[in-house]
Chain A
Amino acid sequence: MSTTVPKKSSNPIPNRERIKMPRQHMPEQPPLIRAQQFTEVNLGYSAELARQEALRCIECAKPSCTDTCPVGVKVKDFVQLIVDGDFLGAAAKIREDNVLPAITGRVCPQEDHCEGGCLLKKKGESLGIGYLERFVADYEQQHFDVKNIVKAPPTGKKVAIVGSGPSGLTAAGDLVQRGHQVHVFEALHEVGGVLTYGIPEFRLPKKIIREQVDYMRAMGIEFETDVVVGRTVTIDELLEEEGYDAVFIGTGAGLPQFMGIPGEHLNGVYSANEFLTRINLMHAYEFPRYDEPMVDFRGKNVAVIGGGNTALDAIRSALRLGAGKAYVLYRRSEAEMPARIEEVKHAKQEGIEFQVLAAPIEFLSDGKGWLSAARCQKMELGEPDASGRRRPVPIAGSEYEVPLSVAVIAIGTSANPIVQSTTPGLNTNKRGYIQADEISQRTSRKGVFAGGDIVTGSATVILAMGAGRRAAKGIDDFLKSGQW
């Protein structure tokens, strides 16, 4: 990797010309068509578009795209391989640092990482790194035979991964590449964690997750579903009875938060986790072919409360299920919204109505136990709070009602206590998240590591993957040295 001498660029275009080239648009389904179906919005670059886009890279001497990537993908190198037309080489280059390229190429908030650091952004538009990553990953899926995966010599060490979400999959991928035997436990019946239950088909097709997981199986990773660690088997049993030398806990930020306002128990009020799990994991959008039902809100009003990616995933799903009107109710302004820019853009194109600086204070009943409206309050922005974003302050006398059949609460999650409460000696912080070292991801228990949302609270796929990557290194160091 690092021993190769930097080769001369094969890009024939002078740098001053490259910065003038426009960013290649991602082909996508027309908004009014896609708003009625769950198939993927973005259609992906063709080889020609990918190469055109790759030619825009100005090959910085000190590329900040890599520095800003939580897993350190060597962006410049893989982009140059695209310029060369070596798409499989580009995929292999990404895989040195990222075992889930087809997933991050779709759901990573690139504007906060690689593309945010891209120098081209200062001149106009950043390089389409996410789009290029996605292209390369999809090309690899179609053209690479997993039989050609080179396996590392076995170390004889066994590692259990608890949770098959982004952090667990990443840790698993990195560990198996170091020759350790890796076994992944998943509580649900399908692998992928939040990628599977949380992110809808139109943004991340299940097929993509399955393909990436199949690739990991080909790498030698074992998966076991239907195991709730803490209930079905404990961390101590894994270490003492099942012969694992180390355990990584990547259980995610499990418990949905509710608002604690009147009427939250009404029929039609959902947590985003439940709403999305019904649709994504349980295929409620294919009812009655699949048995899991969803409240029938065709033609009726649906609102999501919150402004993150989960909120937008929920409301765009509601639109696809036939909601008459679909609202985002967010208590701050659009500038503070944590959602990816592309998702906000897509949601608006599809006809989602944004009511910002507004929050419900009560859910009202139709008298028969069903939601009929939300009583909301308008907000204005005050001083920045602990998150650095300006705090929403209620405006007195600004209450108004929004008639609603379904409300989806997407205001965040808190720590799921199942593993912590069944693992003696595993330290947690005040909010119940597991305490882990920021570099090695070690916990207070010997041989036990943790990372992702169960350590940090709700974050993004790529940040969880970064933690999985650090944990894999921490685990590898521990297995080699035996030192704690």
Chain B
Amino acid sequence: MEFDGADVFKIIQAQFIAPGIKRFILEAPRIARKQRPGQFVILRVNETGERIPLTIERSDPEKGTVNLVVQSIGKTTHLLNSLETGDSILDIVGPLGKPSEIANFGTVVVMGGGVGTAMAYPTAAAMKRAGNRVITILGGRNKDLVLLEREMREVSDTVFVTTDDGSYGDRGLVTDKLRQLIENGTRIDLVLAVGPIPMMRAVAEMTRKERIRTVVSLNPIMIDGTGMCGGCRVLIEGKSEFACVDGPEFDAHRVDFAVLVQRNSMYRDAEKRSMDDFGPELEKRAMELEMACALEAKR
């Protein structure tokens, strides 16, 4: 942010919550005051940085803080996760996107895959407050990558956990658990799925047959986040819509996931080059921090 010169957004707290995944508590009073479940921010770490969209896990309007959960994937997220308490971020803008539609639907199944859980969490909480029965299914590659289980338990009637390697909860995918629920005859009025694209696509395919209303939160490449550039356009039943202003949540059964995957791969070469140029140093730094974090946790 610039307010007569050089203001920035302060990191009140930065802490790894899983390997390569960090939670930031940031001072952003305007955003904290307005954030609603389902919305996101766009940030730019420094002067030469790119703008990337990130999930808002929760916010505290009184303290004027916003929580972000960030997984190290490319250069920017690695750079972000190398920042610590007391550091700052140059630009954060939001809250962006349409808030989730919250109503008493009946029974809502909330599915969170990896860091997607951070985006699903505020919506799950709001769904619970609206009187829904909330069944949560959390998934991750392994135990460490199952996020926000404690928080999700607080806002869910039931929580199931699956891991790819069986290191925690049931071995398998979140969709395996969803299928079980459907086969057991559990009444499901709405599914919210937030996670990697293959997961969201699999959920959409499964619920389409069952005619269960399903909402997914999409994560295309974005720049401005206000509808100005059209870079985040997604194909919704053959029609272009902008994830930043028309979404990020869409009816899963209308989304063309193949086009989303294709468009998200547009800068793969450049992203690789960025990581090759800057990655080793950042990764080393992130690893050191992780180890320090792990040591501290042991103590």
Give me the interface of A with B, judged by CB distance under 8 Å. 187-189, 191, 197, 217, 222-228, 231-233, 254-256, 258, 264-265, 267-268, 270-271, 273-274, 277-278, 281-283, 287-296, 369, 416-418
- Residue A232 contacts which of B31, B51, B231 (CB distance < 8 angstroms)? B31
User: Are A255 and B91 in touch, CB under 8 angstroms?
Assistant: no
Point out the residues of chain A lying under 8 angstroms from B34, CB to CB. 231-233
User: Are B228 and A222 in touch, CB under 8 angstroms?
Assistant: no
Tell me the complex Cα distance, A416–B229, Å: 11
- Residue A369 contacts which of B49, B262, B273 (CB distance < 8 angstroms)? B262
Q: For A187, give the chain B residue with the smallest CB separation.
A: B226
Known: A225-B3, A267-B263, A295-B267. 20 other contacts (CB 8 A): A189-B91, A217-B4, A223-B2, A223-B3, A226-B1, A227-B1, A231-B226, A232-B94, A254-B226, A265-B233, A268-B266, A277-B229, A282-B50, A288-B270, A290-B49, A292-B51, A293-B270, A293-B271, A295-B266, A417-B227
User: Are A225 and B96 in touch, CB under 8 angstroms?
Assistant: no
Min CB gap A291→B, angstroms: 4
29 A-B residue contacts at CB 8 Å?
Answer: A187-B93, A188-B224, A189-B2, A189-B51, A217-B4, A223-B2, A225-B91, A226-B92, A227-B93, A228-B93, A228-B226, A232-B95, A254-B227, A254-B228, A255-B242, A256-B228, A273-B229, A283-B48, A287-B270, A290-B49, A291-B50, A293-B50, A293-B271, A293-B274, A295-B266, A295-B267, A296-B270, A369-B259, A418-B227
Point out the residues of chain A lying under 8 angstroms from B233, CB to CB. 258, 265
Tell me the complex Cα distance, A277–B96, Å: 19
Known: A264-B240, A277-B228. A291 touches B4 (CB 8 A): no
Min CB gap A115→B, angstroms: 31
- Residue B94 contacts which of A225, A231, A274 (CB distance < 8 angstroms)? A231
Closest 8 CB pairs of A and B: A293-B270, A369-B262, A274-B229, A271-B230, A291-B50, A189-B91, A225-B2, A292-B50
Point out the residues of chain A lying under 8 angstroms from B90, CB to CB. 189
**Residues in B253-278 with C-beta less than 8 Å from chain A:** 256, 259, 262-263, 265-267, 269-271, 273-274, 277
Point out the residues of chain B lying under 8 angstroms from A255, CB to CB. 227-228, 230, 242
- For the complex, is B22 an interface residue (Cβ under 8 Å from A)? no
Point out the residues of chain A lying under 8 angstroms from B92, CB to CB. 226
- Residue B230 contacts which of A217, A268, A273, A288 (CB distance < 8 angstroms)? A273
Tell me the complex Cα distance, A277–B93, Å: 17
**Residues in B75-112 with C-beta less than 8 Å from chain A:** 75-76, 90-96
Point out the residues of chain A lying under 8 angstroms from B274, CB to CB. 288, 291, 293
User: Are B50 and A265 in touch, CB under 8 angstroms?
Assistant: no
Interface string of B124-155 (1 = CB under 8 A from A): 00000000000000000000000000000000
Main secondary structure of the interface of B (DSSP, over half): mixed
Point out the residues of chain A lying under 8 angstroms from B277, CB to CB. 288
Point out the residues of chain A lying under 8 angstroms from B293, CB to CB. none
Tell me the complex Cα distance, A423–B158, Å: 40
Min CB gap B250→A, angstroms: 15
User: Are A222 and B4 in touch, CB under 8 angstroms?
Assistant: yes
Tell me the complex Cα distance, A188–B50, Å: 12
- For the complex, is B17 an interface residue (Cβ under 8 Å from A)? no
- For the complex, is B211 an interface residue (Cβ under 8 Å from A)? no
Point out the residues of chain A lying under 8 angstroms from B223, CB to CB. 274, 277-278, 281-282, 292
Point out the residues of chain A lying under 8 angstroms from B49, CB to CB. 290-291
Min CB gap B46→A, angstroms: 9
Tell me the complex Cα distance, A290–B223, Å: 14
Min CB gap B269→A, angstroms: 7
Tell me the complex Cα distance, A186–B46, Å: 18
- For the complex, is B44 an interface residue (Cβ under 8 Å from A)? yes
Min CB gap A142→B, angstroms: 23
Min CB gap B156→A, angstroms: 29
Tell me the complex Cα distance, A293–B231, Å: 13
User: Are A282 and B51 in touch, CB under 8 angstroms?
Assistant: yes
Tell me the complex Cα distance, A225–B92, Å: 10
- Residue B3 contacts which of A224, A278, A295 (CB distance < 8 angstroms)? A224
Min CB gap B277→A, angstroms: 6
Min CB gap A409→B, angstroms: 9
Point out the residues of chain A lying under 8 angstroms from B270, CB to CB. 287-288, 293-294, 296
User: Are A256 and B48 in touch, CB under 8 angstroms?
Assistant: no
Q: For B48, give the chain A residue with the smallest CB separation.
A: A290
Known: A256-B228, A273-B230. A265 touches B259 (CB 8 A): yes
Tell me the complex Cα distance, A270–B266, Å: 11
Point out the residues of chain A lying under 8 angstroms from B228, CB to CB. 197, 254-256, 273, 277, 416
- For the complex, is B245 an interface residue (Cβ under 8 Å from A)? yes
Tell me the complex Cα distance, A130–B242, Å: 39
Point out the residues of chain B lying under 8 angstroms from A282, CB to CB. 50-51, 223
- Residue B2 contacts which of A197, A224, A418 (CB distance < 8 angstroms)? A224
Min CB gap B34→A, angstroms: 6
Tell me the complex Cα distance, A217–B31, Å: 25
Q: For A295, give the chain B residue with the smallest CB separation.
A: B266
User: Are B265 and A228 in touch, CB under 8 angstroms?
Assistant: no
Interface string of B6-50 (1 = CB under 8 A from A): 000000000000000000000000110010000000001000111
